[in-house]
Structure 1
Amino acid sequence: MKKVYIYSDGACSGNPGPGGYAVILEYNGTELELSGGEENTTNNRMELMGVITGLESLKEPCDVTIVSDSKYVVDAFNKKWIDSWQKKNWKKADGKSVLNKDLWQRLLMVVNKHKVKFVHILGHNGHEYNERCDKLAVMERDKFKN
C-alpha cells in the first residue's frame, strides 16, 4: 500500500457563515493541494470536508495518516465516538442527534477503503502543512465574504 499523508484544515467566518477547507496530500515527495468552500456552513463541516476531499481523491486503497488540528474530527475516530454514534443510531451520549451526520457517513464510506490513522496537531503553531492549509482554507472562505 502507498503511504500517503493528508494534512487538512477548515475555516469559517461566523458559525454558520462563509467557510473554506483545504487539504494537502503528500506521497513520496509529491504534493497535491485541494480546496473548496461554501457560502453558508460551519467550521466543523469545513473540517470534515477537508478530510473527505483528501480521501476521496485517492484512486486506490492506501495507508493514510490524516493530520488535522480539529479535535472534533480526530477524537471522533481516536476516541471511538463514531462507533458509539453508529450503535446508537446517530445519537450522542446525551441522546441528542449527531450533527453533520451526512458528512460523517460520507467520511466513513471513504475511510473504510483505506488503512487510516488520525493525528491531532495544534493549529496556528508553526506546522508547515497546517499553516499552508489554513491559508488556502481562508482564501476559499473569503471568496464568499461580501
Structure 2
Amino acid sequence: MTDGSGPEATGLGGSAVGTGGHAAILQLKQGDVVLRQKPFAGQVIATATNSQMEMMAPLAAFDAMQELDIPVLIESDSQFLVDGMNGGHVRWQANGWKKSDGKPVKNLILWLSLVAADEGRQSVWVKVKGHSGHELNELADKLASSAKAGKHVDENGRVTWFPKGLSF
C-alpha cells in the first residue's frame, strides 16, 4: 500500500508546492497470511506536490525490496498513478512523453524512475478507494501525513516512529 500527502491546493483545480510526505507499507504474504510487514515514510521539504508524493511512495517501496522475482501488488488511492503504471506510460513514451493533448507529461523524472524500478518485476497496480476504511490505506495516509507535518522525522527526512506491530 502506498500513499502521498502534499500541500493543500487552493481554488478550483489549484495545485500547491510545499512540504510533502510519502509512505509505503510492505507486506510479505503467503496466500492470505502476512508473514512480515514493514512501513516506510519520508518527508520532502519545500518543493513537493501531492502528485509527486503519490509517486515517491512506490519508489521508496521498490527501493526497499531486495527481491526482483516475486510478484508485487501495489495498491494506491491515486488513480493517475495506477493508470500511468497500467499502460499510460507506454502511450506517453510512444508519443515522446507527451499526453494526448500534446502537452508534456508532468514529473517526467519520477515517471522514468517508476518505470525503471518496475521493469522486470511481476507487478500489478490496483486502485483502492481512499478514506473508505481500507486498513492499510488509512495507515499509509496517517504515516504520509505525519511525515509531511515533520512528526517523528529524522535529519534525513525519514519517519522514525511507526505504530506498534509494524516490523519486518
Normalised TM-score (structure 2) = 0.78
Aligned to 2:71: 63
Gaps of 5+ in 1: 1-6
| Mapping of residues 105-144 of structure 1, within 5 Å | 105-143=112-150
1:22 is aligned to 2:29: no
Note the C-alpha offset of 1:97: 0.6
Note the C-alpha offset of 1:48: 0.4
**From 1, 11, 14, the counterpart of 2:5:** 11
Identity of aligned residues (%): 35
Residues 120-141 of structure 1, C-alpha deviation per residue, up to 9 Å, x if partnerless? 0110000000000000000000
Code of the aligned partner of 2:139: R
Report SS of the residue matched to 1:20: strand
Partners of 1:74 and 1:124 lie apart in 2 by: 17
Residues 15-61 of structure 1, C-alpha deviation per residue, up to 9 Å, x if partnerless? 21211000000003210100112112100100000011111211121
Report SS of the residue matched to 2:66: coil
Note the C-alpha offset of 1:113: 2.9
Partners of 1:136 and 1:96 lie apart in 2 by: 33
Report SS of the residue matched to 1:99: coil
Report SS of the residue matched to 2:39: strand
Partners of 1:113 and 1:83 lie apart in 2 by: 15
Question: CA RMSD for the aligned pairs?
Answer: 1.2
How many residues are treated as equivalent by the alignment? 137
Code of the aligned partner of 2:57: G
1:35 is aligned to 2:29: no
Gaps of 5+ in 2: 9-15, 152-168
Aligned to 1:88: 95
Report SS of the residue matched to 2:102: coil
- The structure 1 segments of at least 4 consecutive aligned residues displaced by more than 4 Å after TM superposition are none
Partners of 1:114 and 1:74 lie apart in 2 by: 16
Partners of 1:114 and 1:53 lie apart in 2 by: 15
Q: Which structure's residues are more often strand, by fraction?
A: 1
Report SS of the residue matched to 1:59: coil
